Structure 1
Amino acid sequence: MAKVHFIAVGGSVMHQLAIALKIKGYQVTGSDDEIYEPAKGNLLQTGILPASMGWDESRITADLDAVILGMHARADNPELIKAKELGLKIYSFPEYIYQESQQKNRVVVGGSHGKTTTTAMIMHVLQQSGQAFDYLVGARLAGFPQSVNITDAPVIVCEGDEYPASVIEKRPKFHFLHPHIAVLTGIAWDHINVFPTFENYLEQFAIFLRTMKAGHTLIYNNTDPELVKLVKAEGLHLKLVPYDIPQHQINNGVTTVHFGDQQTELEVFGDHNLLNMHAARLVCNELGISDEVFLKAIATFKGAAKRLELVGKNEHCAIYRDFAHAPSKVKATISALRDQYPQRKLIGVLELHTYSSLNADFMVQYQGCMDKADIPVVFYSKHALEIKRMPELMPDVVAQGFGRADLEIFTSREHLTAFLDKQEYKDANLLMMSSGDYEGLDVNSLKKYL
């Protein structure tokens, strides 16, 4: 029985991997300096929660088969130092996923946007069609008890993140997964604290393609000129499968999609989701699933959490929340609602919360991304800037970046909610976009507008 120890076990996906390995029958231990819910409760339930918080080098013993290093462990961590001294095998999260899946058919979904949803769509269809598979995805999905599963299944479906793997392994996570079937959804500069220039960011995707084995399959978004250029430069050794927006129509806010002579109504909508679905369909085809089976399954897909998630609606108003924060995601999400409900006024609220989005120099990347909102609103909190130790962000810099003179800008939750309270919601939709929480605003409380 393999014996594995996790340094910084409390991370959102780290603790899920620890649980998956415990279920598989491995002996699993972990440590961390602080663990929050839901990780704390999940680890307690499975008997992996450390007896005490903090680092203790005595937990690192010579009989460990692997030490798995979490993202927020620092280089001077005493457990990491001891593991190095003992010459133990130390893995970042993605390196260990590869270790466990060398005998599997590996599917990796990468790109700047749509990764979680595309991965979730593939997982939903495989589950509905009774296929055995392992997975790694960046969100909790309905119908799946955890966000990581490692068994003896012949296939693994992974969301491939371009963020660094660990404190001692600065290369992006998706460089370690070596797919047989890869998806690239598109490339739009993000994470400027890690990739200071667009060229530097683009290079990570170039390396991903270069290191894929000749003849393996790349399914890529043919509507993204930057990605098409990259594929022509770096991907000619691969089996190339381009995709675009499939044939579809919208009636009364419901989208019907067509593949050949097969069609189905969908619960999700928007060009970005149609692109994600086309990629998922092509992956499923590669895994032996017909269009007929795919469409029957995808008809019941409701979307990943906080991805154009319906908060509430009545006959003349709908309220949605979305994880969108990067410019390309904001633009895609607003466009989706505008196209789905062309007759309704659209109130779009974006919280700037990430390192990139709060950076004055990055603001110009948001140019035009809220143009399709009738009432564009940007919110950011001084607290978020303080936590990230960033300089003050002036409202005029924000307005200039977005390129809209009528942009409403708020830096306090009270002012934001007062503004929302004053709006007219008949024949209108409200879209709340953030990877944060608007200084503790309960989005469900907005149902009072219905």
Structure 2
Amino acid sequence: MAYPSYRRVHLIAVGGSIMHNLALALHRQGVHVTGSDDEIFDPARSRLQAAGLLPAREGWDAASITTDLDAVIVGMHARPDNPELHRAQELGLRIFSFPEFIYEASRDKQRIVIGGSHGKTSITSLILHVLRHHGRDFDYAVGAQLEGFDLMVKLTDSAPIIIIEGDEYLASPVDRRPKFHLYQHHIGVISGISWDHINVFPTEENYREQFAIFARMTPKAGALIFDRDDEQAQLVSVPSNPDVKYLPYGPHEHVIKNGATSLVTKKDELVPIQVFGEHNLRNISAAKEVCKQLGIKGKDFYEAVATFKGAARRLELVQQGATSVVYKDFAHAPSKLKATAQALKKQFPQRRLVACLELHTFSSLNPAFLPQYQGTFDAPDLAVVYFNPQVLAHKRLAPLSAEQVQQAFGRPDLRVFTDSRELAAFLQAQNWQHANLLMMSSGTFDGLNLAELAARVTAGQNGQ
């Protein structure tokens, strides 16, 4: 491996989405892997168990940290006072956050880091899809499970490049630096900047500065690829180093016909694609620019992108009927909400759009942040917001009223629900003839049975 000195590695908070994938990737490379966590759920539990890596018991045990460990990797789920972390510090062991270890494992590779408030996963997924389609050798670290890839992390000796989804959130409980600052990219992407993570970045200026730092880190002979139409991305991507390539992009030229989108090439050829929406057309342009820097020709890019089905949980088709479709999306930030709702309305302009958003994250439930949603939910014909008051209490946030939410979104007709059963009954009662449903959340609407709801919607069933 590129890091031969790390043969025995322990992962604190191994049950995390990306952490258990790192554990499996290291295990495949012959590293002796152990891990711990105070709770591990599926799919992490089953996958770790199948590989023989599931901890014998849940919880933390300082005795599991021994001097024969070459490295300890700590995940975000751990707390600063974690007893295993303290023991590793006492023993003077090498301690890494996830991004620090990925950098350590890819020192000799060309690093491509995809940053931005939105679109990171989709752009990363597009690049991986194109590279794999053409048989290129590459490593990667991405935040979502992708079709055709059994792990979200791949680390090898052979691959000359690594594609990394560059999250701006904190590296670890004891390292307050944004993850994407630690990868030290050669090629960087900024897909757009829209204030998020209010609990970590209290002002828009503070949040934007993290991207400015990322942009300034682009090295000599490196490239910075950014959305030319995003005002905040433009501000941080102003050419300041004559030895860096600054490459702006916009939405790919396209046509929409009968609910299907096709790309228009420079030769005026049409390339039918399986994703849609202006945000995805921008993501395609960003991925195309990255692939160009990696030696992928235009015609080869289009050949591959025609078979791209999208990243999991990103405007993902749940079910399709004769006059209705149901989509789900990971969207929760204001910019993502606006882009996703507009995309579905534009793709099916003749159909009524019912869109439902779950407020689930710390930022989205914070009364100080809520006004950021003003005007972002105007595209749907019927807009619905759901939140669970118990989640507010768990996050130690002030209670929210339906009136507060309506005022923040700027839609007096906004329907607000706090009971998932009432929400399901309301949606089932709608007239679904020539109507589409869009469900958006980073959560689960508290266990709402989306498959059952989608079946009713696409069958045209309603309670009226």
TM-score band, normalised by shorter chain: over 0.9
Q: Secondary structure at the match of 1:356?
A: helix
State how many pairs are aligned.
450
Asked if the contact 1:217/1:239 (under 8 Å) is kept, the reply is: yes
What is the CA–CA distance in structure 1 between the aligned matches of 2:195 and 2:162, rounded to whole Å?
Answer: 27
1:326 to 333, 341, 355: 333
1:367 to 369, 374, 377: 374
Deviates more, 1:109-118 or 1:148-157: 148-157
Counterpart of 1:53 in structure 2 is 58
Asked if the contact 2:119/2:279 (under 8 Å) is kept, the reply is: yes
What is the CA–CA distance in structure 2 between the aligned matches of 1:81 and 1:108, rounded to whole Å?
Answer: 31
Within 5 A, what are the aligned runs for 1:334-349? 334-349=341-356
Q: Secondary structure at the match of 1:13?
A: helix
Q: Classify 1:38/1:434 alpha carbon distance in 2 versus 1 (closer, same or farther; 3 Å).
A: same
Does 2:308 match 1:278?
A: no
Does 2:293 match 1:295?
A: no
Asked if the contact 2:367/2:400 (under 8 Å) is kept, the reply is: yes
Within 5 A, what are the aligned runs for 1:16-415? 16-152=21-157, 153-232=159-238, 238-261=244-267, 262-415=269-422
1:65-123 CA distances to partner (integer Å, 9 max, x unpaired)?
Answer: 21101112122222111211121110000000000001111110000000001000000
Matched AA of 1:154? P
Deviates more, 1:268-277 or 1:235-244: 235-244
Asked if the contact 1:323/1:434 (under 8 Å) is kept, the reply is: yes
Matched AA of 2:233? L
Counterpart of 2:457 in structure 1 is 449
What root-mean-square deviation, in Å, do the aligned CA atoms of Structure 1 and Structure 2 show?
Answer: 1.3
Matched AA of 2:457? Y
Deviates more, 1:52-61 or 1:172-181: 52-61
Q: Which runs of at least 4 in structure 1 moved beyond 2 Å after TM superposition?
A: 233-238
CA shift, 1:33, in A, is 1.7
Q: Secondary structure at the match of 2:69?
A: coil
1:210-269 CA distances to partner (integer Å, 9 max, x unpaired)?
Answer: 222133101110010111122117666521111001111001011110231153100000
CA shift, 1:52, in A, is 2.2
Asked if the contact 1:17/1:148 (under 8 Å) is kept, the reply is: yes
1:117-136 CA distances to partner (integer Å, 9 max, x unpaired)?
Answer: 10000001111111111111
What is the CA–CA distance in structure 1 between the aligned matches of 2:387 and 2:149, rounded to whole Å?
Answer: 33
Q: Classify 1:80/1:407 alpha carbon distance in 2 versus 1 (closer, same or farther; 3 Å).
A: same
Matched AA of 1:214? K
Asked if the contact 1:209/1:235 (under 8 Å) is kept, the reply is: no
Asked if the contact 1:209/1:234 (under 8 Å) is kept, the reply is: no
Asked if the contact 2:275/2:309 (under 8 Å) is kept, the reply is: yes
Unpaired runs of at least 5, structure 2: 459-464
TM-score (norm 1): 0.98
CA shift, 1:158, in A, is 0.5
Asked if the contact 1:206/1:234 (under 8 Å) is kept, the reply is: no
Deviates more, 1:185-194 or 1:438-447: 438-447
Q: Secondary structure at the match of 1:232?
A: coil
What is the CA–CA distance in structure 2 between the aligned matches of 1:87 and 1:263, rounded to whole Å?
Answer: 59
Counterpart of 2:461 in structure 1 is none
TM-score (norm 2): 0.95
CA shift, 1:414, in A, is 2.1
Asked if the contact 2:428/2:456 (under 8 Å) is kept, the reply is: no
Asked if the contact 1:116/1:304 (under 8 Å) is kept, the reply is: yes
Within 5 A, what are the aligned runs for 1:425-440? 425-440=432-447
